[in-house]
Amino acid sequence: MKFNTKAIHGGLKEIDPAYGSVMPPIYQTTTYSQSTPGGHKGFEYSRSANPTRDALERAIASIENGNHGMAFGSGLAAIDAVLKLLKSGDEVISTNDLYGGTYRLFTSIFEDFGIKFKFIGMENAEKIDEYVTDKTKLIWVETPTNPMMNIIDIKKAAAVAKKHNVLLAVDNTFATAYLQRPLDLGADIVMHSATKYLGGHSDVVMGTLAVKDKELADKLYFIQNASGAIAGPQDCFLVLRGLKTLHVRMQRHCENGKQVAEYLSNHPKIENVYWPGLKNHPNHDIAKKQMDGFGGMISFTTKGNNYEEAIKIVENLNIFTLAESLGGVESLAGHPASMTHASIPKAEREKTGVVDSLIRLSVGIEDGDDLVADLKQAIG
Ligand SMILES: *Cc1c(COP(=O)(O)O)cnc(C)c1O
């Protein structure tokens, strides 16, 4: 099955046997009747498993070309589950230009449990090798990175992980499975904030994992059930519905992303435009190799790097809504230094390029000309 078919039918092997409903019903239930102790139909308690969540988890595995999927209450809950594969004393090598909440989870929660993190630039993925010790258990890659849109070569990162027998996990939130399938490139775990493109309509907070390996899946299912940060059935239904249009939405995100990135690149007041589809993007070649398109996430800075001017631009936008988050059908704009990345110390964030004038756009699927006109009036 090709991707566009999987987005609609993937994992949904049987139509509801009771009434033939085309969409999996929302099983809003905590428990399931048993004919005799242990005599159930595969479901006994909805933390352990729920039929609506089960349908979504199969769909997630399908679009990522994995064998097992898991849905959690948020993207961070999914990352939290991955980190719980580790023990005190273990080391993680992570991308340095990282979603702020992931950085906070690693440094403010898991460091206190004795896990050590090394945050490094990974644009040259062979270099990861230099940081591996006998304590390293996990390599955490985010690509494209948030918000600098750096691209990390997943195949090369996987080669390092395989060589040292450590796990490679990829945060695939920005690209989605439509544009990039990390498991096919050698990653062990692919993670999503389904809050973003998978849900796609800015109405659900959720996280997912997908893996190929059964033994690894069993460990993660154990953690999912034992820690309990599961996604609810109503939210699973909404993300299942979102997945059915993922491919058409992503096509339009890519088209509009291109139009906006090209407009900004030619604007006299704009200093840098970070979008992996631009030929002058430092990792354009890797992006071309491992992605099927360049997506709708764009960051840019203004000449003079003025904090107040950047604030003014995001306030002046009309169609782009000033808001955190990304990946919905509507366009959003954010100012990372004061919003999503406010939890990262200034010196730390500036090292990775999150300067005062940086603006991040989540380009939606409205008319591309309208989006450009909105930017034009806001930037001046
Ligand atoms: C939003 C986001 C997360 C966290 O997901 P939540 O659903 O907000 O918990 C992790 N990684 C990336 C790249 C994100 O954009």
Q: Tell me how far CA of residue 199 lies from CA of 172, 245, 355, in angstroms.
A: 14, 10, 30
Query: Among 5-14, 33-42, 95-104, which is the least confidently predicted range?
Result: 5-14
Q: Is residue 97's pLDDT more than 90?
A: no
Q: Same structural domain for residues 300 and 221?
A: no
Confidence of residue 346 (pLDDT cuts 50, 70, 90): confident
Residue 130 is part of a domain; what is its CATH number? 3.40.640.10
Q: How far does residue 248's CA lie from ligand 1's centre (Å)?
A: 22
Residue 369 is part of a domain; what is its CATH number? 3.90.1150.10
Provide CB contacts within 8 A for 115, sequence distance 6+: 83, 86, 88, 89, 90, 91, 92, 106
Q: Same structural domain for residues 224 and 353?
A: no
Q: Is residue 272's pLDDT more than 90?
A: yes
Residue 336: name the closest of 356, 363, 309 by CA: 356
Confidence of residue 4 (pLDDT cuts 50, 70, 90): very high
Q: Same structural domain for residues 88 and 179?
A: yes
- Picking from 243, 263, 284, the residue at the C-terminal end of a domain is 243
Q: Is residue 61's pLDDT more than 80?
A: yes
- pLDDT of 340 reads 80
Q: Is residue 343's pLDDT more than 80?
A: no
Q: Same structural domain for residues 196 and 267?
A: no
| pLDDT tens per residue across span 26-53 | 999 999 999 999 999 999 999 999 999 9
β-strand partners of 274: 299
Q: How far does residue 72's CA lie from ligand 1's centre (Å)?
A: 12
- pLDDT of 2 reads 95
Q: Same structural domain for residues 275 and 301?
A: yes
Question: What mean pLDDT comes out for the span 162-176?
Answer: 98
Question: What mean pLDDT comes out for the span 210-216?
Answer: 98
| Residue with CA at minimum distance from ligand 1 atom 5 | 75
| Residue with CA at minimum distance from ligand 1 atom 1 | 193
| Residue 367 bears catalytic tag | no
Question: What mean pLDDT comes out for the span 159-164?
Answer: 98
Cβ of residue 208 lying under 6 Å from some atom of ligand 1 = no
Cβ of residue 102 lying under 6 Å from some atom of ligand 1 = yes
Question: Which residue among 97, 153, 171, 356 is the active-site one?
Answer: 171
Q: Is residue 102's pLDDT more than 90?
A: yes
- pLDDT of 18 reads 83
Q: Same structural domain for residues 23 and 144?
A: yes
Q: Same structural domain for residues 296 and 165?
A: no
- Picking from 213, 243, 273, the residue at the C-terminal end of a domain is 243
Q: Is residue 172's pLDDT more than 90?
A: yes
| Residue 19 bears catalytic tag | no
Confidence of residue 341 (pLDDT cuts 50, 70, 90): confident
Q: Same structural domain for residues 302 and 183?
A: no
Question: What mean pLDDT comes out for the span 284-306?
Answer: 97
Q: Same structural domain for residues 123 and 225?
A: yes
- pLDDT of 352 reads 80
Share of the chain above pLDDT 70, in %: 100
Q: Same structural domain for residues 155 and 80?
A: yes
Amino acid residing at 243:
L
State which ligand 1 atom lies nearest to the alpha carbon of 76: 9
Cβ of residue 94 lying under 6 Å from some atom of ligand 1 = no
Cβ of residue 75 lying under 6 Å from some atom of ligand 1 = yes
Structural domain range at position 370: 247-379
- SS3 label, residue 136: strand
* Cα–Cα distance measured from residue 349 to residue 339, given in angstroms and rounded to the nearest whole number: 12
Q: Same structural domain for residues 162 and 259?
A: no
Q: How far does residue 146's CA lie from ligand 1's centre (Å)?
A: 10
| Residue 274 bears catalytic tag | no
Confidence of residue 195 (pLDDT cuts 50, 70, 90): very high
Q: Same structural domain for residues 223 and 344?
A: no
Q: Is residue 207's pLDDT more than 80?
A: yes
- pLDDT of 16 reads 78
Number of alpha carbons in the 13 Å side-chain half-sphere of residue 142: 24
Distant-in-sequence contacts of 180-184, Cβ < 8 A, 24+ apart:
180/143, 180/154, 180/290, 180/291, 180/292, 181/64, 181/65, 182/64, 182/141, 182/154, 183/64, 183/65, 183/66, 183/210, 183/211, 183/212, 184/65
- Picking from 243, 262, 291, the residue at the C-terminal end of a domain is 243
| Residue 47 bears catalytic tag | yes
Question: Which residue among 53, 58, 84, 99 is the active-site one?
Answer: 99
Q: How far does residue 3's CA lie from ligand 1's centre (Å)?
A: 23
- pLDDT of 201 reads 97
Q: How far does residue 76's CA lie from ligand 1's centre (Å)?
A: 6
Confidence of residue 342 (pLDDT cuts 50, 70, 90): confident
β-strand partners of 297: 362
Best residue among 76, 209, 340, 360 to mutate for probing ligand 1, ranked by most atoms within 8 Å of CB: 76
- pLDDT of 349 reads 81
Question: What mean pLDDT comes out for the span 99-115?
Answer: 95
Reading the block at residue 325, the tokens are: 């988050």
Q: Is residue 197's pLDDT more than 90?
A: yes
State which ligand 1 atom lies nearest to the alpha carbon of 327: 15
Average pLDDT, the chain: 96
Cβ of residue 272 lying under 6 Å from some atom of ligand 1 = no
| Residue with CA at minimum distance from ligand 1 atom 6 | 75
Cβ of residue 101 lying under 6 Å from some atom of ligand 1 = yes
* Contact in structure between 127 and 120 (CB atoms under 8 Å): yes
| Residue with CA at minimum distance from ligand 1 atom 4 | 75
- pLDDT of 112 reads 98
Provide CB contacts within 8 A for 327, sequence distance 6+: 173, 195, 196, 197, 198, 199, 200, 202, 362
- pLDDT of 100 reads 84
Count of structural domains within the chain: 2
Q: Which pTM value belongs to this model?
A: 0.96
